[in-house]
Amino acid sequence: MAFLRPTTWPEALAAKAELPGAVPIQGGTDVMVEINFDVRRPEALLDLTRVAELARWSETGGRLRVGAGVPYSRVIGELGDRLPGLAQASRTVGSPQIRNRGTVGGNLGAASPAGDSHPPLLAGGAVIEVESAARGVRMIPAEEFYLGVKRSALEPDELIRAFHAEPATGPQYFSKVGTRNAMVIAVCSFALALHPAERRVGTGIGSAAPTPLRARAAEEFLAAELDWAAGLAPAGLAPGVLARFGELVSEAAAPIDDVRGTAGYRRHALAVMARRTLTWAWNDYRKAREQCA
């Protein structure tokens, strides 16, 4: 197995063009596990840890660009205020050691339906920046990135360079069910983001379909039901709104029975998480409105 170690982005793209079978590796928290368990035998590993720019993030013109090599621990520590949903999801990944190594870029590359980054990226409307030596940059909305179980829109000669997202303008929550209280792969997960400026709702469902996905009907229902202007109203959300939102999220999923849980439980848990995250988000929104008033 060849081990390629480019130090610049053009070198990395050239290497990938020359050897499309090379598997990119950042923290190795996913790739190395698969190699150690003999799940895959790539012809080459393309180590991206020497490409320094991938470990940087920047904010320009009100948009964040986060390099594919920024580890979860830095997402939590440096971007927690701007990307709270993703930071909450990052906090549920593995152990502290894993969070020091693992990256959002790696999570995207693996494109597992259970990846913890995906629901908040979907809910937050993130866009993935990918690039090839031959065709240059493509900007792929998160929603179009996931094509199947561990299959993404990435072409064999492309690498993930960064993801782009707007800093949160409203409350964001991530919630994940696992069968132990830490270091667990999602049985199912849910992310919610309120975008008050556009009076829009973002959602992301994890581990409950062949790909991570948005609950579009739920988003539209909620965006229409929420009284965005009158967040100051004394009552919270009508129970009917909560229940219907939960149902719509649950209906958006296409879960299966597997070793981690049953389809029925996943649908049930998604509805519960949808109701709870919405309650928290709406309470935050109202509080923020009260403080502004």
Partner 1 sequence: MTSTDTRTSQGIGQSAPRPDGTLKVTGEFAYSSDLWLEDMVWGVTLRSPHPAARIRSIDLGPALAMPGVLAVLTHEDVPGEKHHGLELRDQPVLAVDRVRYQGEPVALVAADHPERARRAAAAIVVDYEVTEAVTDARRAAFDPACPKVGERGNILRHQPVRVGSVFEAPVVVTGEYEVGMQDQAFLGPESGLAVPAEDGGVDLYVATQWLHVDRDQIAPCLGLPAEKVRVSLAGVGGAFGAREDLSMQVHACLLALRTGRPVKMVYNREESFFGHVHRHPAWMRYEHGATRDGRLIYVKAEILLDGGAYCSSSPAVVGNAASLGAGPYEVGNVEIDAYGVYTNNPPCGAMRGFGAVQACFAYESQMDRLAEACGLSPVELRIRNAVSQGSRLITGQLIDSPAPLAGMLAELEAFPLPAASDGDLRELPGGVAQTTHGEGVRRGVGYGVGIKNICFSEGFDDYSTARVRLELAGGEPHVLVHTAAAEVGQGLVTVQAQVARTELGVERVTVAPADTTVGSAGSSSASRQSYVTGGAVKTACEAVRERLAELAAAHPGLTTTALLQRFGPVEETREYRHRPTFPMDPSTGQGDSHTQLALCVHRAVVDVDVELGLVKVVELAAVQDVGKVLNLLALEGQIHGGSAQGLGLALMEEVLVADGRLRNPSFTDYLIPTILDMPPMKVSILENPDPAAPYGLRGAGEPPTLSTTPAVVAAVRAATGRALSRVPIRPEHIALT
Count of Cβ atoms closer than 10 Å to residue 138 Cβ: 15
Contact segment (CB under 8 A) with partner 1 among 4-12, 19-27, 121-129, 272-280 equals: 272-280
Residue recorded with tokens 């990918």: 130
Contact segment (CB under 8 A) with partner 1 among 31-39, 46-54, 62-70, 97-105 equals: 31-39
Q: C-alpha angle with apex 175: 170 to 178, nearest 5 degrees?
A: 170
Quote the least distance from Cβ 99 to partner 1, whole Å.
Answer: 11
Cβ neighbours of residue 195 under 8 Å, at least 6 residues apart?
125, 169, 170, 201, 202
Provide the greatest CA pair distance for the chain.
Answer: 64
User: Of 55 and 269, which CB lies nearer to partner 1 in the complex structure?
Assistant: 269
Out of 5, 138, 276, 289, which residue is the one contacting partner 1 (CB under 8 A)?
276
Measured on CA atoms in the order 146, 167, 81, 217, is the torsion positive or negative? negative
- 175-194 residues near partner 1, rule: CB under 8 A: 175-185, 187, 189
User: Of 79 and 187, which CB lies nearer to partner 1 in the complex structure?
Assistant: 187
- 183-242 residues near partner 1, rule: CB under 8 A: 183-185, 187, 189
Nearest residue to 193 (alpha-carbon basis) of 89, 85, 271: 85
Residue recorded with tokens 């920047």: 58
Quote the least distance from Cβ 109 to partner 1, whole Å.
Answer: 18
Quote the least distance from Cβ 41 to partner 1, whole Å.
Answer: 10
Count of chain residues binding partner 1 (CB under 8 A): 35
C-alpha to C-alpha distances, 208 to 103, 142, 258, 282, 289, nearest whole angstrom: 22, 17, 11, 25, 34
User: Of 179 and 291, which CB lies nearer to partner 1 in the complex structure?
Assistant: 179
Q: Where are the alpha helices (DSSP H) in 178-262?
A: 216-225, 239-252
User: Of 118 and 161, which CB lies nearer to partner 1 in the complex structure?
Assistant: 118
- 67-126 residues near partner 1, rule: CB under 8 A: 88, 91-92
Out of 27, 69, 170, 261, which residue is the one contacting partner 1 (CB under 8 A)?
261
Q: Hey, is 23 helix, strand or coil?
A: strand
Cβ neighbours of residue 239 under 8 Å, at least 6 residues apart?
none
According to the binding rule CB under 8 A, does residue 173 interact with partner 1? yes
Binding site for partner 1 (CB under 8 A): 33, 36-38, 88, 91-92, 173-185, 187, 189, 259-262, 264-265, 268-269, 272-273, 276, 279-280
